[in-house]
Structure 1
Amino acid sequence: MTPLLDAHDLTATFSGPTDGPPVKALRGVSLRVEPGEMVSIVGPSGSGKSTLLYCLSGLHPVTSGTVRLLGRDLSTLRRGQLARLRRGRVGFVFQAYNLIPALTAHENVALPARLARRSLSATDVDRALAQVGLADRGGHRPSALSGGQQQRVAIARVLATGPELVFADEPTGALDTAAGVEVLDLLRETASGARSVVLVTHDVTAAARADRVLVLRDGLVFRELVRPTPDEVFAGITDREKV
């Protein structure tokens, strides 16, 4: 089976403080994501979780190493080709929701397809909103929705376009427990068949919903856990053993 995501020996280095050494955010990370998988990435603050997500999705270039996203080597793609790949086949769910305040929930869900000049009917949008339990909120603007509802609109926006791979960066970080559970349920349901989800989170309970959990430390994969409990995820993060 061909993986949806195949990354090998990734490094990412950023300029440090003035006259200081460069910061090595990633120091040789390799991973694969198969169709139907949900993979969580966890680790202490500063371990490189979000940097890894951005590099895997093509939002940030790697310093070295290779990323094959949906069969395409990202290093060979021009900016326009990369943008088309992300718009057409990849979905993003972020903690900040990234909804347009002036647009209704219905219009926000339809927006990515409009920007990609893809056909998406009103019925398709309504179906996506119904999937996330917001069939009666399509005419509401973000300011009239709770945080959990806004995040569900963001997920509906992803579901409506039918991406093969969904990246989620701390999608429950700003939500209460009940709303967070709803969002995780939706992401878990999304990772099935030919579609997969890669989730970055600091929440051990959220991470444990995944098929596999990668524990990052100091820019390296410190441990890989298969269908762990929340306690096992916590132990993996807090283990003092050196990489």
Structure 2
Amino acid sequence: MTIATYDARHLIEAEHVSKSFDSAKSSESVIVLRDVSLRVQSGEMVAIVGPSGSGKSTLLYCLAGLEPVTGGAVKLFGRDVSGLRRNTLAKLRRDHVGFVFQSYNLIPSLTAAENAGLPGRLARRRGAVAAAQESLRAVGLGERDRFLPGKLSGGQQQRVAIARVLASGASLVFADEPTGALDTRTGEQVLSLLRDAAAGERSVVMVTHDLEAAARADRVLVLRDGVIHAELLSPTSDSVLDAVRAAGEEAPAA
């Protein structure tokens, strides 16, 4: 799928995004995101942090076009996702977007190599099999290419998920708590892979509760009650912690 000309500096542009859900307990909607605006540049790693219920995962899904916004607009590669037909949006994500989730989302009946190469095969890309093998070697799983997910550890499955993104050639990677179920050592390996992936024309947007992980990013957005309360450039774990604490002490936005 060819992307029309757009400002290549910004892979994501979100303007005044709001999101609400119908409440099962009352007639009033539950507001999750409030007037959120942000941009993500090429080659950038952005981390989104905040307490549970702050709306960070919902924001990630809205930015990825997996969840429709209630108000405002989200553009991926210069295209307003709300104005795209479902199949057009699916092709855009298939060809240019990758996902790394805490649950791995691997197909149990496919080998590591088949899982890693699936997006390329679906897009009918030449060299999809070779790309999958190369990406598995890059994440240290070249010798486990024929293993089914059930025969791999959690950390290995997560690395297969990252290999799938690398093999797909995705320009934009979304990661939702990618280290949440991993031990410290494996989590560090996964973070290093994501950190290395954010370069050149590829960007990574990661939601995490781990402030040390967030500090690996180029920029950190601190979310509280669906509002961006702080933006940190060249963050450290201490500056992220201070910003999260400060956000918790501020009154929620109206």
| TM-score, with length taken from structure 2 | 0.93
1:163 aligns with 2:170: yes
Give 1:222 deviation, angstroms. Answer: 0.6
Q: Distance in 2 between matches of 1:118 and 1:72?
A: 23
Give 1:20 deviation, angstroms. Answer: 4.6
- The residue aligned with 1:8 is 15
Question: Could you tell me which of 20, 26, 39 is aligned with 1:19?
Answer: 26
Give 1:111 deviation, angstroms. Answer: 1.3
Task: Deviation per CA, 1:85-122: give whole Å up to 9, x if none.
Answer: 00000000000000111111011111122222333343
Question: Could you tell me which of 163, 168, 182 is aligned with 2:189?
Answer: 182
Q: Distance in 2 between matches of 1:86 and 1:71?
A: 13
State the AA in 1 paired with 2:115. Answer: N
Q: Distance in 1 between matches of 2:87 and 2:126?
A: 20
Q: Distance in 1 between matches of 2:212 and 2:114?
A: 33
109-118 or 169-178: bigger deviation: 109-118
State the AA in 1 paired with 2:143. Answer: D
Q: Per the alignment, in what secondary structure is the counterpart of residue 143 of structure 2? A: coil
Q: Per the alignment, in what secondary structure is the counterpart of residue 196 of structure 2? A: helix
| TM-score, with length taken from structure 1 | 0.97
1:51 aligns with 2:91: no
19-28 or 217-226: bigger deviation: 19-28
- The residue aligned with 1:34 is 41
Runs (4 or more) in structure 1 with deviation over 3 Å come to none
1:105 aligns with 2:121: no
Q: Distance in 2 between matches of 1:20 and 1:218?
A: 20
Contact 1:12 1:63 in 2 (8 A): yes
Contact 1:110 1:120 in 2 (8 A): no
Q: Per the alignment, in what secondary structure is the counterpart of residue 4 of structure 1? A: strand
Structure 2: 5+ residue runs without aligned partners?
Answer: 1-7
- The residue aligned with 2:126 is 119
1:137 aligns with 2:141: no
1:146 aligns with 2:146: no
1:241 aligns with 2:250: yes
